[in-house]
Amino acid sequence: MSDNVAIAISAHPDDIEFYMAGTMLLLCEAGYDLHYLTLANGCCGGTQFDAPTIARTRAEEAKRAADLLGATFHPSFCNDLEIVYALNLLRQLAAIIREVKPTLILTHPPVDYMEDHTCTCRLVVTAAFAREMPNFVTTPERKPYSGDITIYHSTPHGLTDPLGHLMVPDLFVNVEAVHNRKCDALAAHKSQSAWLETSQGATSLISMLNAFSTKVGELSPGFRHAEGWWKHSHLGFCREEADPLREALGSLANTSKDHSS
């Protein structure tokens, strides 16, 4: 089993590109084997076509984005707004984790503006926890495995919890050097431009990304474009001192505390 396998797991197509892709690109440069999974197929991300048509379009876009990120693509397995903390989804996600055997997982934070994101986080944590439990049966059935697995939670949308309170990450990753490539991956999701303009008043996916990564950068130790992270508790997952993201990225990963000292 490789010690350098990372999987990004999000709720919807384009979530990975928006919150996690810069860190993924840097991990790839550091020698990590990357994997890409969105639980939901994006079928509600539009109004002009029916759900199956939208889902097919978004799968094609996500595959293109995963290629641009250098990641292995894993198909979605549920619809938008149907990501719930349920056994059938947990068994499917646990099977993928056992197949990939990641040492590092990037996913949503435990609190966010919508339930698809928070439920994805809960499913990821439990599926990773069950990786070495032989009596937990996955769908399809996959053998359990042992080993450290470290989970990192991305920033929530808007950098606030659902009540509008600012959430400052513990760890910042300087993604300026790969920002243009991150934008290219996000731009692969062409179908979302019109939908976001209609549903959220967004004029441009790339403009949204630039504003968000700059905002995270303003909270960081001086990075122009940044992604923010929290490391999940080590209990049941990895050694207490395990911090593979910082180890892999070195000076590109920093905290406010480190900067002030």
Q: Determine if residue 77 is left, alpha or beta; phi over 0 gives left, psi from -120 to 50 gives alpha, anything else beta.
A: alpha
Which pLDDT tens digit goes with each residue over 125-158? 999 999 999 999 999 999 999 999 999 999 999 9
> With the CA atoms of 155, 160, 161 and 166 taken in that order, what torsion angle do they form, in degrees rounded to the nearest 10?
110
Could you state, in order of their start, the residue ranges of all structural domains in the chain? 5-260
Summary mean pLDDT of the chain: 94
Residue with tokens 């055997």: 101
Which pLDDT tens digit goes with each residue over 184-196? 999 999 888 766 6
pLDDT at 261 over 50: no
Query: pTM for this structure?
Result: 0.95
Calculate mean pLDDT across residues 73-77.
98
CATH topology of domain 5-260: Rossmann fold (3.40.50)
What's the pLDDT at 90?
98
Q: Which two tokens stand for residue 46?
A: 């539009």
